[in-house]
Amino acid sequence: MDPIMIPILGIVFGCTIPVVAIWAKHQQKLAKIQGETTAHATAEKAAQYAAQVAKLEDRVQVLERIVTDRGYDIATQIEALRDTREVESDGAITSDLGVPLNIGNKEKA
């Protein structure tokens, strides 16, 4: 090894160590910022999900109220719809609108 290489290597390593230290500190700052950003985004999504769940709970409460308050009415309406169906000669069930439901054909199979 040349005697001149020792000072050159010393200078190169002497300059490299501070550069690596600066780079490492910068990487730590970037990681911290990304962690904070991710935490903020996660909290924001959680808030959106909570708001959506609250809306759905409100809708379910309204539906429950409708079903329980008008339960007898709904049962009467369903029975009235069952009474208006007609059975065709081929076994298909049709409604008053003439739309075949083909329930009879499925039951035969």
Q: What is the pLDDT of residue 76?
A: 74
Rounded to two decimals, what is the model's pTM? Answer: 0.37
**Could you give the CA distance from residue 66 to residue 64 in angstroms, rounded to a whole number?**
5
Return the pLDDT at 86: 57
* In the predicted structure, residue 46 carries a pLDDT above the cut 60: yes
Residue 93's DSSP bridge partners are 87
Q: Residue 1's pLDDT is what?
A: 65
Which is more confidently placed, 39 or 82?
A: 39
pLDDT per position as a tens digit, 5-35: 888 888 888 888 888 889 899 999 988 888 8
Report how far residue 77's alpha carbon sits from residue 83's, in angstroms, rounded to the nearest whole number: 10
Cα dihedral: 85, 87, 91, 106 (round 10): 10
| pLDDT, tens only, 54-78 | 999 988 888 787 777 765 677 677 7
Q: Residue 101 pLDDT more than 80?
A: no
Bridge-partner residues for 86, per DSSP? 94
Q: How far apart are CA 69 and CA 76, in angstroms?
A: 13
